[in-house]
């Protein structure tokens, strides 16, 4: 028996003893306290679902009502029942708060008091879109590599933990955060799969993102990039400012439409977002809130489906239906998703194909487009670095294929440095759960069954790994920057078996578009645009939100 059960047992025995000498009303109140303590004790033994709690609560109230019916008048019953419910909940939450703060296995790690007793602390921070900055500030103020950000959630900022948490052979599994992404459904897709399911699905995906496959997708990327540059030329020829981030979003969505559903979404051409993009951008924020309190997602199974989410699913279903007859004849990601896993011989069902194509579009679009905007922002905010990049790219006259892009070291350094400072997935994801026996790294023991995670934003701005961490210094990636410099702390695409499968495609898109924009235009902040507000306007909602980036583009002769 653990400390909690011993303490609770003692308290219950003492209360029962004193109840024998009390008047009946006090006995009812005492029973409510006892029921609350017993509920908490049961919580400790079993992992209850919210629906179980709701059921137990209704059953208790029904039982209470039947019992009271025989004891007192109708008005008296309602008042007494309300009073007993209040006593029950106050006792339950007090007991839970005391336990979490003083007895819980994560109690020794520093963190805000509210975070130690409730997940709603994190919910409010996520709601404000400030999770990445708040957690970084917590590490700084507590001077601790490990901070408590929820009753059983720890945030870690130390490079030595990356391998044990995320690397090959890790004993950690994906944390409860990912259960939230199910939103009441039982259909799993790559990202929220259990380890067994993830293994065969990931092999299919890996085949779709190896270097041979990426080369096959390159003509699609180059074509859509050409379309983007032409459109930008037309839109800016009279010197009008443009929100370039919006067009980057159209670009990445068009690519994902092309590679994931067999046909571009045609957003660059029309200059308008389709319903899917609007829904997804609203949905990611909502999703990040639900995932912060994963049991909320179970509740959604009981609510009528949101028509917008239904619309998104119908949209994906229609696209997949149109794409299916082409089979494996097209050089796109969908072709790979249609193939069977070479080891298990398993294949995706039609429903799973719809879910994966949707996930592909969500995972591959806003991440890449917010990165593109961020890179442009840092270039314009640092004219000397921008000039250096121009000097590298302008003399080059050939096509911007991956073979040539690899020859632009400064371009690659600029991209990495921008992603270091503002990673599109700052801290909202990447939660893992420690094995039941816990995990010890460098003599520090992380308790078992605890949600742990390392946020890219905080670790990539840690002065122990990057000298002058808040400054944009691409040179550090070329061995010419300030010390220290630790590549291992670069966590933009996560690490290990669950890391970003689309990383190479993302790099191809980033290199291609940035090289294209730098070669085709001279770019500057639009007059009146408050460049200083860019970093703060990026909110962390799983994928960071797209900030408004108003620029003037002048086509180069
Ligand atoms: C700059 C752009 C991108 C960034 C920063 C990024 C970042 C990440 C990160 C951090 C994860 C791991 C999340 C976790 O631990 O759960 C991830 C997973 C994933 N990403 Fe990306 N991503 C980018 C672009 C892409 C693209 C272009 C695609 C597809 C075309 C893609 C597809 C995926 C998929 C499918 C997963 C789930 C992998 C798994 O669970 O096995 N991502 N990404």
Binding site for heme: what residues are annotated?
500
One domain for residues 81 and 178: no
One domain for residues 251 and 374: yes
Quick one: pLDDT at residue 2?
A: 61
Q: Which of 84, 103, 122 is the last residue of a domain?
A: 103
CA distance 460 to 487: 9
158 within domain boundaries: no
Angle between the N-to-C axes of helices 383-393 and 350-381, in degrees from 0 to 180, rounded to the nearest 10: 110
The tens-digit pLDDT sequence of the chain (557 residues) is: 466 667 667 766 765 666 566 556 677 788 888 888 888 887 777 666 666 777 777 887 788 777 777 666 666 777 777 888 889 889 989 999 999 999 999 999 999 999 999 999 999 999 999 999 999 999 999 999 999 999 999 999 999 999 999 999 999 999 888 887 776 677 888 888 888 899 999 999 999 999 999 999 999 999 999 999 999 999 999 999 999 999 999 999 999 999 988 889 999 999 999 888 888 877 788 888 888 887 777 777 677 677 777 888 888 899 899 999 999 999 899 999 999 999 999 999 999 999 898 888 888 998 999 999 999 999 999 999 999 999 999 998 877 787 777 789 999 999 999 999 999 998 755 789 999 999 999 999 999 999 999 999 999 999 999 999 999 999 999 999 999 999 999 999 999 999 999 999 999 999 999 999 999 999 999 999 999 999 999 988 767 888 889 999 999 97
Residue 368 CA to ligand 1 center (angstroms) comes to: 10
CA distance 92 to 39: 7
One domain for residues 252 and 384: yes
94 within domain boundaries: yes
One domain for residues 270 and 397: yes
One domain for residues 79 and 190: no
Phi-psi region of 262 (alpha: psi -120 to 50; beta: other; left: phi over 0): left
pTM recorded for the entire structure: 0.91
Nearest to 413 by CA among 403, 404, 405: 405
Quick one: pLDDT at residue 175?
A: 87
Q: Which of 103, 126, 141 is the last residue of a domain?
A: 103
Q: Give the structural domain span for 19.
A: 1-103
Distances (CA, A) of 109 to 3, 112, 319: 19, 10, 49
118 within domain boundaries: no
Query: Is 541's C-beta closer than 6 angstroms to any atom of ligand 1?
Result: no
Q: Indicate the number of domains in the chain.
A: 2
Q: Which atom of ligand 1 is found nearest the CA of 192?
A: 40
Coil vs helix vs strand at 391 = helix
Query: Is 514's C-beta closer than 6 angstroms to any atom of ligand 1?
Result: no
Element (H, E) at 439: strand 439-441
How remote is the C-alpha of 403 from its chain's centroid? 32
8-state DSSP, 485: B
Query: Is 260's C-beta closer than 6 angstroms to any atom of ligand 1?
Result: no
Quick one: pLDDT at residue 1?
A: 47
Nearest to 421 by CA among 481, 366, 468: 468
- φ and ψ of 243, to 5 deg: -85, 95
Quick one: pLDDT at residue 5?
A: 67
Asked if this assembly's ipTM is beyond 0.90, the reply is: yes
Quick one: pLDDT at residue 275?
A: 84
One domain for residues 47 and 190: no
CA distance 135 to 426: 10
Residue 503 CA to ligand 1 center (angstroms) comes to: 7
Residue 101 CA to ligand 1 center (angstroms) comes to: 35
467 within domain boundaries: yes
Report the relative pairing of strands 451-453 and 153-156 from DSSP bridges. Answer: parallel
Q: Which of 85, 103, 121 is the last residue of a domain?
A: 103
């Amino acid at each position: 028996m653990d400390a909690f059960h011993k303490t609770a047992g003692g308290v219950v025995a003492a209360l029962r003893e004193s109840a024998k000498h009390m008047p009946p009303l006090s006995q009812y109140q005492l029973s409510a306290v006892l029921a609350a303590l017993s509920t908490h004790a049961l919580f400790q033994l079993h992992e209850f679902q919210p629906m179980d709690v709701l059921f137990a609560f209704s059953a208790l109230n029904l039982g209470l009502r039947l019992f009271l019916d025989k004891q007192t008048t109708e008005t008296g019953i309602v008042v007494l029942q309300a009073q007993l419910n209040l006593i029950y909940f106050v006792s339950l939450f007090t007991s839970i708060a005391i336990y979490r703060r003083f007895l819980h296995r994560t109690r020794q790690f520093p963190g805000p008091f509210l975070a130690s007793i409730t997940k709603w602390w994190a919910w409010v921070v996520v709601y404000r879109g400030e999770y990445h900055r708040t957690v970084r500030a917590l590490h700084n103020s507590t001077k601790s590599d490990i901070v408590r950000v929820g009753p059983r959630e720890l945030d870690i900022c130390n490079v030595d933990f990356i391998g044990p948490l995320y690397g090959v052979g890790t004993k950690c599994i994906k944390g409860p955060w990912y259960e939230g992404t199910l939103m009441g459904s039982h259909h799993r897709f790559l990202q929220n799969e259990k380890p067994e399911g993830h293994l065969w699905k990931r092999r299919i995906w890996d085949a779709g993102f190896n270097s041979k496959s990426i080369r096959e997708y390159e003509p699609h990327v180059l074509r859509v990039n050409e379309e983007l540059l032409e459109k930008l030329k037309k839109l800016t020829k009279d010197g009008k400012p443009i929100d370039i981030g919006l067009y980057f979003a159209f670009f990445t969505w068009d690519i994902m439409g092309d590679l994931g559903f067999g046909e571009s979404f045609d957003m660059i051409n029309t200059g308008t977002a389709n319903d899917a993009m609007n829904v997804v951008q609203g949905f990611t924020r909502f999703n990040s809130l639900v995932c912060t309190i994963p049991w909320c997602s179970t509740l959604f199974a009981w609510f009528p489906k949101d028509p917008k989410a239904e619309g998104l699913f119908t949209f994906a279903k229609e696209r997949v239906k149109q794409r299916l007859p082409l089979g494996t004849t097209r050089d796109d990601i969908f072709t790979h998703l249609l193939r069977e896993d070479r080891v298990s011989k398993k294949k995706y069902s039609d429903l799973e194909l719809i879910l994966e194509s949707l996930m592909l579009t969500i995972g591959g679009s806003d991440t890449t487009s917010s990165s593109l905007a961020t890179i442009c922002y840092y270039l314009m905010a640092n004219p000397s670095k921008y000039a250096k990049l121009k000097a590298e790219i302008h003399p080059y006259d050939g096509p911007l294929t991956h073979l040539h892009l690899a020859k632009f070291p400064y371009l690659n350094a600029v991209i990495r440095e921008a992603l270091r400072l503002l990673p599109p997935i700052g801290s909202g994801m990447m939660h893992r759960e420690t094995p039941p026996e816990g995990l010890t790294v460098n003599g520090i023991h992380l308790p078992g069954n605890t949600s742990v995670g390392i946020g890219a934003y905080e670790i990539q701005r840690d002065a122990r790994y990057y000298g002058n961490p808040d400054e944009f210094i691409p040179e550090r990636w070329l061995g010419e920057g300030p010390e220290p410099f630790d590549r291992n702390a670069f966590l933009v695409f996560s690490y290990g078996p669950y890391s970003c499968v689309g990383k190479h495609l993302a790099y191809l898109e980033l290199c291609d578009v940035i090289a294209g924009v730098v070669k085709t235009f001279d770019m500057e902040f639009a007059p009146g645009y408050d460049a200083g507000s860019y970093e703060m306007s990026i909110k962390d909602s799983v994928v960071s939100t797209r900030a408004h980036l108003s620029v003037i583009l002048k086509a180069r002769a």
